Amino acid sequence: MNNLIQNQRTTRTMDIVNQGLARRYRAEKRFRLYGIVAIILSMIFLVFLFVSISANGYTAFQQTFVQLDIHLDPEILDAGSLADANYQGLVKHSLADMFPEVTTRRERRQLYGMVSNGTSYQLQDYVRKNQNQIGSVIQIWVPADDDVDMVVKGHIQRDVPEAERRVKDNQMAWIDRFQEQGRLEKRFNTTFFTAGDSREPELAGIQGAVTGSFYTLIVTLLLSFPIGVAAAVYLEEFAPKNRWTDIIEVNINNLAAVPSIVYGLLGLAVFLNFFGLPRSVPLVGGLVLTLMTLPTIIIASRAALKSVPPSIREAALGVGSSRTQMVMHHVLPLALPGMLTGTIIGMAQALGETAPLLMIGMVAFIVDIPGGFTDPSTVLPVQIFLWADSPERAFLEKTSAAIMVLLAFLVTMNALAVFLRKKFERRW
Amino acid sequence: MSSSNLLLVLLMLTTAGYYLGRKRAFAVAEATGKGQQILHSRPTYYGALAALWCAIPALAIFFFWQAIGPTVITQLVVAGLPPDLQALPSDRLGLLMNDVKNLVHADIVSGEISPAIQAAADHYTRLETLSHAALAVLVLVVGIAGILWIRKRMSPQLRARNHVETLVKYLLVACASIAIFTTIGIVLSVLYEAIRFFKVIPVHEFLFGLDWSPQMAIRADQVGSSGAFGAIPVFMGTLLISAIAMCVAVPIGLMSAIYLSEYADKRVRAVAKPLLEILAGIPTVVYGFFAALVVAPMIRNAGVTLGLDVSSESALAAGLVMGIMIIPFVSSLSDDVINAVPQSLRDGALGLGSTHSETVRLVVLPAALPGIVGGVLLAVSRAIGETMIVVMAAGLAANLTVNPLKTVTTVTVQIVTLLVGDQEFDSPKTLAAFALGLLLFVITLILNVIALVVVRKYREQYE
């Protein structure tokens, strides 16, 4: 009797369990699916980001060039005053000779606008180097205007009504003529890597911004690495457990989460207004980024110091070294790879940082390539920000291309960090 | 001598000091006739002591003068100006001094150069040359004196190692204290300008005003002369965009963390985790570009197809992209706390017959909740302080709305627009940026402190 009741009860519980089982398994599957979907979604975002930027940007690595026949007229190019001869005029003559049917002023202006504004400077350089060719007709490849470039690359559609198009029908016809004569060619865009900023997309390059980034990062590295390591060594190896070190610890953790733009405000108020340092220079940018990356480096360095086993310290102390000797001779060398990894990651952060640099005036339009720590300059992310604001279609692809360069730098730095970690990682 | 050359000479002097000190230590030891072991420390410590005493005081003097020198020179030049110029109001005097400095550095000078300005410029140049020369002499003399002093004190009994170690320790303490000085610097600099702002605009008007149009008229009769500095619309915009971002980031981040730590096998984890980290490493300016040129037009087109009126700088675009940016932040923090939940809790739940998902939902997540909340709070603070995405993709118009399809502005956008370009530091327009910065700092600070305390408490619970 008793047995029977118990049997009934267990079967009943089992029934309840079994009844719910299908539902619970479905819930299990659903839950699992949510997780997979979440990961796939993030991957899709990542891929979408990269694809859309590359698709916009890869064409910027090529630039359309136009071949011109230019008669180096000795009457215009007087040997005595080569510097201020009318090179613009030579280019215009050449274009006008090519299209004799163009007569009205308006059309002529359109025609002259087919080649870049920088053509006359290029011609000037050429003539200075090849003075013996004055009097002859030379064939020279010059960069096309950005609108022509966009047409050739297919970014300006021909089927759009003429009124809504930057390139008019007659210009389209000239482009076709150029193409028939083989005078139009896409080449690798060296200007993009060797020039400073410019208002003309076909003459704009990232060298100025890259150099600015380089100087800024040098300042940041030289300051933040020694200071960060020293602070970490103190906190981890020497600091007594008291209120002061507690405050420092809480502070560092907080600083790591302070919005970067607040560091910009600090730089503006302290470095520029109080100390009177110049605006827009890599020195101040480096100082601000140092303060910003210090918490990252300190936290990473402390983790590296923590991972050195205490037995090393005890052994060093045991053979009679002082605390400083123990740290300098034994702990620090073992922790250094980890610290370097942290520093590289901090530098990568600093390289991509924009907002604080806007505050200290590194957004100026600067054509020259900076030559030192106190030359006005801009940095790569700020250059991206500036170009992203430009209305020209050609700057859209320049911006994307600059982003690709920036991401390439970041990927290299992070890969280096991973490589260092793998190479020097020790399991005790 | 230019500053960099001076530093170079000082570096050489320090190196020389090191070798001289070391050599002297050998000589002192030889003089006693007992050889090296009579010395208290190893000879390199005597060298290091000499080098430190050469470098530290000299560098201190150098940087001190670099910091205050220009101000002192300016004061001296002002004192040397003719009395009628000195009597000018302070802003005119500032302009005048700017002209003087531009004249000295051969920049463009506004207006014609009067003899008084020319004289002042000459005075300035003289003082500057003098200060450079005096600084160079002083720095080098102090450096040499440091070396000589150590050299004189050198004896076998000198505890060079202990001295060096004390000095090194003070250096380390100084480096560690920079964190504190940074915080103090942030608070003071932002607070100082914010207080100047609140002298013009009352605090309650700023905190509770419903209208934000930061402009100040130069003349009283100008159109729109009364600027409005009510921060509520700006903060509502920030909150709206952050809320959208969290709606994207929290579910996706949390679910990927759960999947990666509870379900995924090693290979999936090894691939997916670094890929998520890539999202975290992309600079915000890239996200901003992506939001402004890809996502915003897409949302706009989608809205037009559905017959909705979508602004081209909608809060939705900025919020969505910001959410993507924060996903890895949420997922790595949640990953940490989920991994910290003891395995015994899972084993217990599984042993009682719950399915894997029930274990996660009913046991692991509640146990990890404080840590997850802390992580989410940190993510919120990050969203509020994020700048570039909203600068590039959100608008400038301060609309008080919760409609994600409309344009809103944020605190960081306003700071950037108010401070980029030329600023005058006596206009409430510029100072308003610092007031916003102060609020931003305080809010993120509160969020961070709460989050850090919660996370720390939680970690201790299972350790």
Write the pLDDT tens digit of every residue in A366-409.
888 888 888 889 999 999 999 998 888 889 899 999 999 999 99
Q: What is the dihedral of CA B336, B342, B348, B354, to 10 degrees?
A: 0
Q: What are phi and psi of A284, to 5 degrees?
A: -70, -40
Q: How far is CA B165 from CA A84, A312, B13, in A?
A: 67, 20, 21
Residue A206 has which token pair? 């990232």
CB contact under 8 A, B324 and A239: no
Residue B65 CA to residue B68 CA, distance in Å, equals: 5
CB contact under 8 A, B452 and A231: no
Mean pLDDT, residues B120-135 taken together = 86
Q: SS3 letters for A127-168?
A: HHHCHHHCCCEEEEEEEECHHHHHHHCCCCCCCCCHHHCCCC
> For A294, which residue in chain B has the nearest alpha carbon?
B179
Which residue is it, tokens 């008007």? B205
Q: Which residues pair with A71 in a beta bridge?
A: A137
Half-sphere exposure of A206 (CA within 13 A, CB side): 28
> How would residue A125 be classed by pLDDT, with cut points 50, 70 and 90?
confident
Q: Measured between CB atoms, does A16 come within 8 Å of chain B? A: no
For β-strands A184-188 and B212-213, DSSP reports them as unpaired
**CB atoms near residue B277 (< 10 Å):** 14
For β-strands B212-213 and B228-229, DSSP reports them as antiparallel
Q: What is the dihedral of CA B62, B66, B70, B75, to 10 degrees?
A: -50
Residue B224 CA to residue B173 CA, distance in Å, equals: 53
Give the mean pLDDT of chain B.
86
Q: Measured between CB atoms, does A95 come within 8 Å of chain B? A: no
Pick B252's closest partner by Cβ from A41, A265, A388.
A41
Q: Measured between CB atoms, does A324 come within 8 Å of chain B? A: yes
Pick B272's closest partner by Cβ from A17, A39, A259.
A39
Q: Which residues of A touch B253 (CB under 8 A)?
A: 38
pLDDT of A351 above 90? yes
CB contact under 8 A, B263 and A407: no
Residue A368 has which token pair? 């020259």
Nearest to A301 by CA among A340, A331, A329, A327: A340
Q: Measured between CB atoms, does A283 come within 8 Å of chain B? A: no
Pick A27's closest partner by Cβ from B275, B288, B357.
B357
Give the per-residue pLDDT at B219: 56
Q: Measured between CB atoms, does A90 come within 8 Å of chain B? A: no
What pLDDT digit, counting tens, does each position of B169-218 carry? 999 999 988 888 999 999 999 999 899 889 888 888 888 888 888 776 55
Q: Across A199-203, A246-250, A293-297, B108-112, which has the greatest mean pLDDT?
A: A293-297
CB contact under 8 A, B382 and A257: yes
Residue B338 CA to residue B259 CA, distance in Å, equals: 11
Q: Which residues of A touch B356 (CB under 8 A)?
A: 28, 31-32
Residue B165 CA to residue B17 CA, distance in Å, equals: 18
- Assign B10 to helix, strand or coil: helix
CB contact under 8 A, B173 and A354: no
Mean pLDDT, residues A244-256 taken together = 86
> How would residue B19 be classed by pLDDT, with cut points 50, 70 and 90?
very high
> How would residue B424 be classed by pLDDT, with cut points 50, 70 and 90?
low
Residue B458 CA to residue B368 CA, distance in Å, equals: 8
> For A261, which residue in chain B has the nearest alpha carbon?
B387
A47 or A420, greater pLDDT: A47
| N residues, chain A | 428
Interface test with A, best of B102, B255, B277, B350 (most A CBs within 10 A): B255
For the entire predicted model, the pTM comes to 0.88
Q: Give the amino acid at B449.
A: V
CB A349 within 8 A of CB A221: no
What pLDDT digit, counting tens, does each position of B229-279 carry? 888 999 999 999 999 999 999 999 999 999 999 998 899 988 888 888 888
Per DSSP, the residues of B247-279 read HHHHHHHHHHHHIIIII--HHHHHHHHHHHHHH
Going A256 to A258 to A264 to A267, the CA torsion angle's sign is negative
Q: Please, what are the domains in chain B? A: 3-158 (no CATH), 228-462 (1.10.3720.10)
